[in-house]
Chain A
Amino acid sequence: MATATEYTTGPRQRDVLDALWRLFSSPYLTLALAVAVALALLVAAALPQQPEAAHSDAVLRSQWLALVHRRYPTTGETLLAVGALNVFHALWFRLLIALLVFNLCLGLINLAETVWQSRHSLAVRRPESFFAEENSTVSLTTSLPWDEALGRTRRALAATLARPREEHAQEVAYFHADSGPWPLWGALALHVGVLLLIAGGLVSGRFAWQTEAIRLGVGQQAAVHGTRYVLRLDDMAVEDGDFRAGVVLLEGGEEARRGVITAWRPLRGGGLTVRGVGYGPAVVVRATDNTGQPLMLQSFVEEAEPSRSVYLSFGAPGEERHFAVLERGLVVRLVLIARGDADAGPSFHVQAYQGNSVEPVFDGTLVASDQVEIAGDYYLVDVEHYALLQARHDPGQGIVILGLLLACGGMMLMMWKPRAQAWALVAAEGGGVTVKVRGAAKERDQRFVCLIAEVERVLATPETKDDRRG
């Protein structure tokens, strides 16, 4: 049996608009566009993509371009020109998505029409020629009385398929049954789900944002750019290469949310998702003279002011930080030697220079929190960790998740509950009754085979003649 055209076309001639409609609603176009989107996702996943912030920040944009040219000295310009390094914002990708949306919308309309027709305007009564299709029609003749044959055919259809309907005309009865609403609902869900997925992606692309990584030491706080929220790190612990950061989200100075952030657990609140993206070693330095009086220190970070302590954070080994001891004309240099692991903490190389001398007055190594004596003063160095936090706002995420759920569910229904339908004709002819059954399903669909077997079984009398065609 073959998948048959289920509805007769209207009386009017097909015009160019019909052809365009068929072209743009074609499932083959859906597949072609899905393949193109898949390739675009492959490119987006395999090649580094331009950071979101670089779209609005000229400095970041120039840094990004420099990185591209360093990484792809020969192909960088071409990759940039074709949008391979900024796939989700490239014109060709947007056109692709627009075409896919158009195709899915037309497919959705076709499906909605099919759903409507299947319940309201399905032609149960079919002409004799409809049952002349040899490959998908089976014809049986029985000596049972017409009423009996009618009842048994009805039962066979109801036992194999769902939603049986019938119409009568003189000595002929017409039947239709199908596999129920689920296959069509599955197709609808798949289309709606993918459209929601795309809509969620568009909402994310338009309204989602995320901050750069915010480096916070214990006790420090930082405003989340563009919001009324402030992040504060209350405590920080590093164990077995993982970290636990106690974070408070403040709104107008009041605590709005408190929680522990790990590599796999963010903090959510106020429409924000705060994620831990890493951690690193830091030192807090306090200094006193030999009488115990505190010394004023100043780090060289921007807008730093003299203070009784300085906070210096480090990234990769080899990074160095400096601070000055104002009363002593002393500059202290710390270089991170190792970030440390589960067994040992971070280690630093410490040097101190006085005045314009190039010879250090102190040169040593620091492997843990300790007190160091430099030029008669005492420097208490606390080694701790800072947390790298990133705040994100993404109003499209929920839509994407809902879309994926619908699309996956719809696809499952389409696969596991394939559509099948059958028409039957029961007619009194001469002294007997002829039953013709025509199915419309995929070649491998066993339900039509079962239906025929069931019809044969219920009509079985010694005189039943099987006139199977095809």
Chain B
Amino acid sequence: MIAVDEIVFWGIAYACFLVAAGAYAVVLWRGLDVATLVGRLTGSLGAVLTAVGLAVRLARAGRWLLVGSGEVAVLVVVIAVVAFLLLGRRSELQGGGVGVFLLIVLLDSFALWSLVIRGAGGIPLVAGGGGGVLATLRVALDAVAYGCLLVGGGFGLVGMIPARWPAAGRPSADAVDVAAWQAFIWGASALSGGLLIGVLAAYLAGYSLWSPESGLLWSMGVWAVCGGSVVVERVGSWRAALATLATAAAFVVMLGGGG
């Protein structure tokens, strides 16, 4: 039995994310390099502590598969930070970090409310048939999907800031668009992969694909918005940042409904 409590790790991590969001807000406003450094360090530290907290929780529970939307949200937070550090590594994109970390704080608030304050796992977002390898793979793919969409949505938020607002570190519209689209296509691809694996698992387990117990309705909902956004972005004239923001919003709404 592990005596350490995951709440300590998650509490410090939450504070780190708040500091990172503040630091990136300074980056956006003033374009200071030192603020970028603070944002990167606190964001990375928050991700590490969140991951350690999740590992502690799972070790205490004696399992390695995530259960419920709360635990999945914690994993998504970690992946979102990693995705931001990878996709937004160009210096001109650092101002976009404020949007990303605002969404990360929002998601982490949901996760902590669900797991710590309410003390429940929430509705199993990625439950359903299969168990074992398929369920693990699906959880991983869904977490990657939502993490990337969150990052794209964060960039999209910054892209929505009116041009007349003073922001020395504002990334260019094209840079935001490229970064948001990169995040979107990785996220949408992982979401599609997760959905197909979920369908395979549900079929193998004999579930009806349309029943809530298959756990597919959540993914299908986000995927539907994702597909619609791709059509609008490709066939219409939407910018990628808008498409990504729409899908990230769908994810947040779904999560809110599930929590």
Contacts and interface: CB of A to CB of B under 8 A. Distances in A.
Contacts of A183: 234
A3 interface: yes
B166 interface: no
A187 B232 CA distance: 11
A397 B189 contact: no
B205 A411 contact: no
Interface in A255-292: 263-266, 268, 273-275
Interface in A30-54: 30-35, 37-39, 41-46, 49
B192 A411 contact: yes
B226 interface: yes
Interface of B: 123, 129-132, 174, 177-178, 181, 184-185, 188-189, 192-193, 195-196, 199, 203-210, 212, 217-218, 220-222, 224-232, 234-237, 239-240, 246, 250, 253-254, 257-258
Contact of B130 (A264, A404, A419): A264
B177 A444 contact: yes
B208 A41 contact: no
Contacts of B218: 41-42, 45
Given A190-B230, A414-B234, A273 B206 contact: yes
A415 B231 contact: no
A411 B230 contact: yes
A31 B224 CA distance: 8
Contacts of A194: 227
A339 interface: no
B174 A44 contact: no
Given A27-B231, A30-B231, A42-B253, A210 B199 contact: no
Contacts of A268: 206
A88 interface: yes
Given A275-B205, A400-B209, A407 B227 contact: yes
A221 interface: no
B217 A45 contact: yes
Interface in A447-470: none
9 contacts: A27-B231, A38-B224, A190-B231, A273-B206, A392-B208, A397-B203, A400-B199, A419-B234, A443-B177
Instruction: Report, nearest first, the 10 A-B pairs whose CB atoms are least far apart.
Output: A266-B206, A34-B228, A31-B228, A275-B206, A38-B221, A45-B217, A408-B192, A41-B221, A27-B236, A415-B185
A44 B230 contact: no
Given A264-B129, A444-B177, A31 B229 contact: yes
A412 interface: yes
A7 interface: no
Nearest to B206: A266
Contacts of B230: 190, 411, 414-415
Q: What secondary structure prevails in chain B residues at the interface with A?
A: helix
A33 B12 CA distance: 42
Contacts of A49: 212
Given A264-B204, A404-B199, A411-B192, A46 B123 contact: yes
Contacts of B225: 31, 34-35, 38
A3 to B, nearest CB: 6
Given A46-B257, A201-B210, A408-B196, A41 B220 contact: yes
Contacts of A265: 204-206
A263 to B, nearest CB: 8
A45 B212 CA distance: 5
Contacts of A208: 208
Contact of B205 (A210, A264, A412): A264
Contacts of B240: 442, 444
A411 B226 contact: yes
Contacts of B257: 42-43, 45-46
Contact of A27 (B130, B220, B224, B235): B235
A33 B232 CA distance: 12
A392 to B, nearest CB: 7
Interface string A184-205: 0001001000100000010010
Given A404-B195, A408-B192, A415-B185, A88 B210 contact: yes
B147 to A, nearest CB: 17
A237 interface: no
A235 interface: no
A418 interface: yes
Nearest to A208: B208
A268 B206 CA distance: 9
A33 B206 contact: no
A265 B129 CA distance: 9
B174 A443 contact: yes
B212 A187 contact: no
A160 to B, nearest CB: 19
B72 to A, nearest CB: 15
B232 A30 contact: yes
A380 interface: no
A155 to B, nearest CB: 29
A38 B191 CA distance: 15
A105 interface: no
B224 A37 contact: yes
A107 B234 CA distance: 13
Given A45-B217, A264-B131, A444 B203 contact: no
A405 B209 CA distance: 14
Contacts of B222: 38
Q: Which of B174, B209, B224, B250 is the most central at the interface, judged by chain A CB atoms within 10 Å of its CB? A: B224
Contact of B207 (A275, A400, A404, A407): A275
A27 B254 contact: no
Nearest to A404: B199
Nearest to B220: A41
Contacts of A418: 234
A412 B177 CA distance: 19
Contacts of B188: 411, 415
Contacts of A411: 188, 192, 226-227, 230
A273 to B, nearest CB: 5
A29 B257 CA distance: 24
Nearest to A415: B185
B232 A28 contact: yes
Contacts of A107: 231, 235
Contacts of A204: 208, 210
Interface string A371-407: 0000000000000000000001010010011001101
A241 to B, nearest CB: 12
Nearest to B254: A42
B202 to A, nearest CB: 9
